Amino acid sequence: MNAVMEEQDNYLASFGRLEKSLGGREPSWLQALRSASIDRFAELGFPTVRDEDWRFTNVTPLARVPFQPGRLVDLDSAARAQVNGLACLADDVNRLVFVNGFLAAGLSALPRLPQGVQADSMARLWRGHPDNIEPFLGQYAVSEGHAFRSLNTAFMRDGAYLRVARGVAVEEPIYVVCVTTGESVVAYPRHLVIAESGSAVTLVEAYVGPGETACLTNAVTEIVVADGAAVDHYKLQREPLSAFHIASLAVHQQRSSRFSSHNIALGAKLARNEVNVVLDALGCECTLNGLYLVAGRQHIDNRTTIDHARPHCASHELYKGILDGKAHGVFNGKIFVRQDAQKTDAKQTNKTLLLSPDATINTKPQLEIYADDVKCTHGATVGQLDPEALFYLRARGIDMGSARNLLTFAFANDIVERIKVGALRQGLENYLLTARDLPVKEDL
């Protein structure tokens, strides 16, 4: 515990150095936001397993590492190729690439961005056009009671800003690729997405890392979906098995808007993904899909909250996990229906496939309902591969590894087939079908 307290002090000292380096050059509202956030972290400290929200995820190994804020570094050709492969990234797609939390202009390109779409660096905007950001930043991913969000808000230096004008439909996906690299480096990417009334956009967030360094990504994304707008969001996490990943996604939906999220988690030694969606007007629709594959001694924690704040809204949630080796998975999904949210239609399901007797899952789907005219269901299942199906495939000359991959693919396929971005779907299919084993690494 003393080591954890010492590292907490290191973060506070690091913030002092950041303030000194910035030299008061940022807008006063941003300085105030940073200061309030670091004060909140100083008050909270790192969460422990005694905190209900973190009961199954011990962050002590993360808190003990003396992480230091990263800086923008050049990637050599081999690292660039590895990043492109991990992120399922083609050369001609619209993309913003961030290395250690800073825009890498040489790796970014927006060749086919339509009129009415602004894709830029957050740092450039809060220096030059802060009015575009101030009304939204920190309003949805609040730091109250959350140490890692507080750290992100205090230390954020850059991230993606995406704004789609009223009525504009973006046909091709826009990629935001975050690369964290370097031993004991921490990156704090901060993204803001605003889809104005009647607009439509597909966003792919990819978090990757070349090499096997013990680094930390602490990411926060805020998305505002205005009246009648539609956002199709994908998150792919393929960081090294020596890395740590903590991420929060906060979504605010307005009247008759549609939001879908597809969360694919494959990497990291310890990863936690939080998704919080507020359906704050009539007629909203929200879909949350998730697929996580972990092995060895990996730990993956998914925590979702869908807040039905207004009537006549619908939400659909399906998370699937595949665990091998001595991996540990956590799923905590909550559907909250407020008193005024009559005619809510909500369904939540978590299914887990255990490929090893040593793999474990803690799953807790929740309904908290204060309205009386609703249709809400939730459920969780945990199982293993069907031995009869394995025998059937083996009897036809298919080796054990391929048979297991085929059955694993069949389990995951209803998530995979919902992915509309072709390169991302194909990359995941190849991963599921061609890997002889899931990413087992016993020496983590």
> pLDDT digit string (tens) for 377-418?
999 999 998 888 888 888 888 888 888 889 999 999 999 999
Strand partners, 337: 308, 369
Confidence band, pLDDT 50/70/90 cuts, at residue 440: very low
Residue 128's domain comprises: 2-281
Three-state SS letters, 332-343: EEEEEECCCCCC
Dump strand ranges (E) for 125-239: 160-164, 174-179, 185-187, 190-195, 200-208, 216-225, 230-238
Q: How many domains, in total, are found in the chain?
A: 1
Residue 416 falls within a domain, yes or no?
no
Confidence band, pLDDT 50/70/90 cuts, at residue 3: low
Question: Are 263 and 236 contacting, i.e. CB atoms less than 8 angstroms apart?
Answer: no
What pLDDT is stored for residue 134 in this prediction? 94
SS3 320: strand
Residue with tokens 């887990």: 352
219: number of Cβ within 10 Å? 28
Write the CB contacts of 19 (distance below 8 Å, at least 6 apart in sequence).
Answer: 34
Residue 332 falls within a domain, yes or no?
no
Asked if residue 191 has pLDDT above 70, the reply is yes
Percent of the chain at pLDDT above 70?
A: 96
50: number of Cβ within 10 Å? 7
What pLDDT is stored for residue 176 in this prediction? 98
Q: What is the pLDDT of residues 245-297, one digit of tens each?
A: 999 999 999 999 999 999 999 999 999 999 999 999 999 999 999 999 999 99
Residue 248 falls within a domain, yes or no?
yes
176: number of Cβ within 10 Å? 26
Residue with tokens 């990757």: 208
What pLDDT is stored for residue 24 in this prediction? 83
Asked if residue 46 has pLDDT above 90, the reply is yes
* Axis crossing angle, helix 2-22 with helix 147-155, rounded to the nearest 10: 30
Strand partners, 330: 301, 362
How far apart, in Å, are the Cα atoms of 82 and each of 157, 253, 299, 411?
25, 36, 24, 28
Q: From CA 126, how far away is CA 131, in angstroms rounded?
A: 8
User: pTM of this prediction?
Assistant: 0.95
Asked if residue 151 has pLDDT above 50, the reply is yes
Output the CA torsion sign for 60, 380, 420, 133.
negative
Please state the rounded mean pLDDT for residues 101-116.
95
How far apart, in Å, are the Cα atoms of 367 and each of 12, 64, 345, 362?
38, 35, 12, 17
Residue 145 falls within a domain, yes or no?
yes
Q: What is the pLDDT of residues 322-336, one digit of tens each?
A: 999 999 999 999 999
What pLDDT is stored for residue 436 in this prediction? 47
Output the CA torsion sign for 72, 78, 79, 80.
positive
Q: What is the pLDDT of residues 332-357, one digit of tens each?
A: 999 999 999 999 999 999 999 999 99
Confidence band, pLDDT 50/70/90 cuts, at residue 442: very low
SS3 433: helix
Write the CB contacts of 29 (distance below 8 Å, at least 6 apart in sequence).
Answer: 130, 134
Residue 159 backbone zone (phi > 0: left; psi -120 to 50: alpha; other: beta): left
Confidence band, pLDDT 50/70/90 cuts, at residue 435: low
Between 396 and 79, whose confidence is greater? 79
Residue 384 falls within a domain, yes or no?
no
Residue 19 falls within a domain, yes or no?
yes
Please state the rounded mean pLDDT for residues 371-376.
95
